Amino acid sequence: MTKIAIVEGDGIGHEVIPVARQVLEVLHPTYDFYTVDVGYHRWEETGCPCADRDIAALKEADAVLFGAVTTPPMKDYQSVVLRIRKALDLYANLRPIKDSGFDVVIVRENTEGLYSGIEEIDADRATTLRVVTRKGTERIVRSAIRLVQNRHGSLTIGHKANVLKSDVFFRDICLKEAQAAGIPHNDKFIDALALDILQHPDMYDVVVTTNIFGDILSDVASYLVGGLGLAPSANIGDRHALFEPVHGSAPDIAGKNIANPIAAMRSAALLLSHLADDPGADLIEQAIQRTLTSGIRTRDLGGNAGTREFGDAVAHEISRLTRR
Ligand code: NAD
Ligand code: IPM
Ligand code: MN
């Protein structure tokens, strides 16, 4: 039986994930759903945000649906989501940005770069080591190349090789792999790319970049689809996969039933495509589009539907589509 671990996390994770789960349950009532409770709230309650047994429970799943966790800017607090990405070796973070007229996937390296965790802070100086390895770069660019081949598209390598030696290394490995694969490709400085993707999204297909550049670029690019409430992501490794919205726990709107659950539902759709190329993924997107077209929208899109109400409307559309 297909096992799906559900992690709500913190903040609006408690609101958007139940909605996304409901959609999965409508489509796959026989899946085995089980919850894993991690996040900052666990740290507040117990002093431990994520235990070893939680990681073990996530590893049991065929796929994880994850909300968001609060990562407070404290010196000694380790982000739960980063720990999970590392523990499950989810090295490819795929962040699709798609609407009529453009279809881009940002492929973010997810385990190294500035997120390698080699840091030091003392009274007068702080350092964070940016580690880019051959192995890490080859596996992320090969994931991106496979995507390009499946989509019959092209690859853009985003970097800052004019300044950073680690990005000369990253760019050169990416270029070599793209040339060897014989796919159309180019490369661009990440700062110029961040503007150009907003001005000409139709010129891009797959964009591969290092960890923090991909983090920033994906929040920026979510502007193209209506903001963070709409942008999903897939974290893929060789053995595990986790699906989560690009957004965080949004403490400013948490607990108000106003968060947009589309990013979470689209993450559930990515989960289904990953597991079995499931037609349910298309149904979820169709149902979201129908709901939006009918005028039901959450506040970030200018409407007044609550998170729950929007989710119910999408679930209702899915039932109608599957009854046909
Ligand atoms: P955020 O993504 O939580 O919110 C940024 C802005 O976007 C806020 O104004 C928020 O209200 C809005 N927003 C986000 N999701 C929305 C939705 N679904 N519907 C409507 N509006 C939405 O980023 P932040 O405020 O910078 O970070 C908050 C916390 O989340 C931090 O602790 C951060 O570390 C954490 N975070 C976690 C993840 C994750 O778990 N993967 C991702 C990003 C941020
Ligand atoms: C994201 C988030 C995380 C990241 C934070 C919360 C650690 O911003 O998933 O985009 O930087 O990867
Ligand atoms: Mn981010």
For position 203, which CATH number holds? 3.40.718.10
Confidence band for 78, pLDDT divided at 50, 70 and 90: confident
Asked whether residue 323 is domain-assigned, the answer is yes
Are residues 78 and 113 both part of a single domain? no
Asked whether residue 151 is domain-assigned, the answer is yes
Whether 224 shows a pLDDT value over 90: the answer reads: yes
Asked whether residue 260 is domain-assigned, the answer is yes
- 267 in ligand 1 pocket by Cβ < 6 Å? no
Asked whether residue 73 is domain-assigned, the answer is yes
- Nearest residue (by CA) to ligand 2, atom 8, is 215
Which of 204, 227, 250 represents a domain boundary (last residue)? 227
- Ligand 2: nearest atom to the Cα of 219: 10
Burial 187-200 (b: 16+ CB within 10 A, else e): bbbbeebbeebeee
**Res 276: pLDDT:** 86
**Res 55: pLDDT:** 98
**Cα 114 to averaged position of ligand 3 atoms, centre (Å):** 13
- Ligand 1: nearest atom to the Cα of 263: 18
Confidence band for 195, pLDDT divided at 50, 70 and 90: very high
**Cα 248 to averaged position of ligand 3 atoms, centre (Å):** 7
Are residues 137 and 57 both part of a single domain? no
Q: What range defines the domain where residue 152 resides?
A: 97-227
Are residues 284 and 205 both part of a single domain? no
**Res 132: pLDDT:** 98
pLDDT above 70 coverage of the chain, percent: 100
| Count of domains for the chain | 2
Are residues 101 and 198 both part of a single domain? yes
What single DSSP character describes residue 319?
H
Q: Is the dihedral of CA 312, 16, 222, 201 positive or negative?
A: negative
- 71 in ligand 2 pocket by Cβ < 6 Å? yes
pLDDT in tens, 131-142: 999 999 999 999
Which of 182, 199, 227 represents a domain boundary (last residue)? 227
Are residues 102 and 212 both part of a single domain? yes
Are residues 72 and 190 both part of a single domain? no
Asked whether residue 56 is domain-assigned, the answer is yes
The CA distance from 295 to 127, in Å, is 50
pTM of the model: 0.97
Q: Is the dihedral of CA 11, 13, 16, 17 positive or negative?
A: negative
Asked if residues 145 and 183 have their Cβ atoms less than 8 Å apart, the reply is yes
The CA distance from 144 to 150, in Å, is 10
Asked if residues 148 and 94 have their Cβ atoms less than 8 Å apart, the reply is no
Confidence band for 72, pLDDT divided at 50, 70 and 90: confident
Are residues 102 and 193 both part of a single domain? yes
Which of 227, 249, 274 represents a domain boundary (last residue)? 227
Kindly report the average pLDDT of the chain as a whole number. Answer: 97
Whether 324 shows a pLDDT value over 80: the answer reads: no
**Res 36: pLDDT:** 98
Confidence band for 145, pLDDT divided at 50, 70 and 90: very high
Asked whether residue 232 is domain-assigned, the answer is no
Are residues 125 and 223 both part of a single domain? yes
The CA distance from 141 to 155, in Å, is 9
Confidence band for 183, pLDDT divided at 50, 70 and 90: very high
Whether 277 shows a pLDDT value over 80: the answer reads: no
Are residues 212 and 101 both part of a single domain? yes
- Nearest residue (by CA) to ligand 2, atom 10, is 215
Are residues 65 and 127 both part of a single domain? no
Are residues 253 and 190 both part of a single domain? no
Confidence band for 164, pLDDT divided at 50, 70 and 90: very high
Confidence band for 226, pLDDT divided at 50, 70 and 90: very high
**Res 170: pLDDT:** 98
- 252 in ligand 1 pocket by Cβ < 6 Å? yes
Asked whether residue 135 is domain-assigned, the answer is yes
**Res 85: pLDDT:** 98
- Ligand 1: nearest atom to the Cα of 253: 11
- 307 in ligand 1 pocket by Cβ < 6 Å? no
Confidence band for 278, pLDDT divided at 50, 70 and 90: confident
The CA distance from 144 to 307, in Å, is 33
Between 302 and 77, the more confident residue is: 302
pLDDT in tens, 110-129: 999 999 999 999 999 999 99
**Res 173: pLDDT:** 98
Asked whether residue 254 is domain-assigned, the answer is yes
Are residues 60 and 179 both part of a single domain? no
52 alpha-carbon distance from chain centroid? 23
pLDDT above 90 coverage of the chain, percent: 95
- 300 in ligand 1 pocket by Cβ < 6 Å? yes
Q: What is the rounded average pLDDT of the residues 251-267?
A: 98
**Res 12: pLDDT:** 98
- The interaxial angle of helices 262-276 and 307-323, nearest 10 deg, is 40
